[in-house]
Amino acid sequence: MSTVDIAAPREKYQRKKVSRGNFELYSWVFMRASGALLVVLIFGHLFVNLMVGDGVHAIDFAFVGGKWASPVWQIWDLLMLWLAMIHGNNGVRTILNDYVSRDLLRLWLKVILYTMTITIIVLGTLVIFTFDPCPVGADPDLLASFCQA
């Protein structure tokens, strides 16, 4: 017959897992704060791209070139990229911790997750800051108006 260990009623409560400090608390607070910021960033992005002026019909290479000529939109898009990626990465990390019980599988899924997140953040950041709105030899009709100057 097996026996079950029951702690003495006045014994101090002991956590089974090794404590990771307050990391999970901060990560939860980050989800809330980044979610609130993302609402502003995403709806601002959708409004400017889809509602202002000719709306969705205005979106082409010149539109993007014109937008990224302004540091305001560079920073706006950079924040949207970083926050959405880190928020999404942290959310999926939580889901993997909750649902994948096999240690090695969970480790590899996280390696894939972090690799994809870092790759997209690095590539997206490079695109925002190295984008050339006036490539040499391109059809002038496709470029932003300031390229002719």
33 near ligand HEM, judged by CB under 6 A: no
Select 35 or 135, whichever has its Cβ closest to ligand HEM: 35
DSSP alpha helix (H) spans, the chain = 23-50, 61-67, 71-99, 103-130
The minimum distance between CB 94 and ligand HEM, in angstroms, equals: 4
Nearest to 128 by CA among 51, 76, 62: 76
Select 34 or 143, whichever has its Cβ closest to ligand HEM: 34
* φ and ψ of 8, to 5 deg: -60, 145
User: Which one of the spans 36-44, 56-64, 70-78, 111-119 is the region binding ligand HEM (CB under 6 A)?
Assistant: 36-44
* Structural tokens at position 130: 């190295």
- Residue 64: C-alpha distances to residues 22, 48, 132 (Å): 41, 12, 10
Select 69 or 86, whichever has its Cβ closest to ligand HEM: 86
User: Which one of the spans 18-26, 38-46, 112-120, 137-145 is the region binding ligand HEM (CB under 6 A)?
Assistant: 38-46
Q: Site map for ligand HEM, 49-68, x if CB under 6 A?
A: --------------------
Q: Site map for ligand HEM, 77-106, x if CB under 6 A?
A: -------x--xx--xx-xx-----------
* Cβ contact 44:123 at 8 Å: no
- Among 25, 39, 46, 111, the residue binding ligand HEM under the rule CB under 6 A is 39
Q: How far is CA 62 from the centre of its chain?
A: 26
CA distance 1 to 145: 84
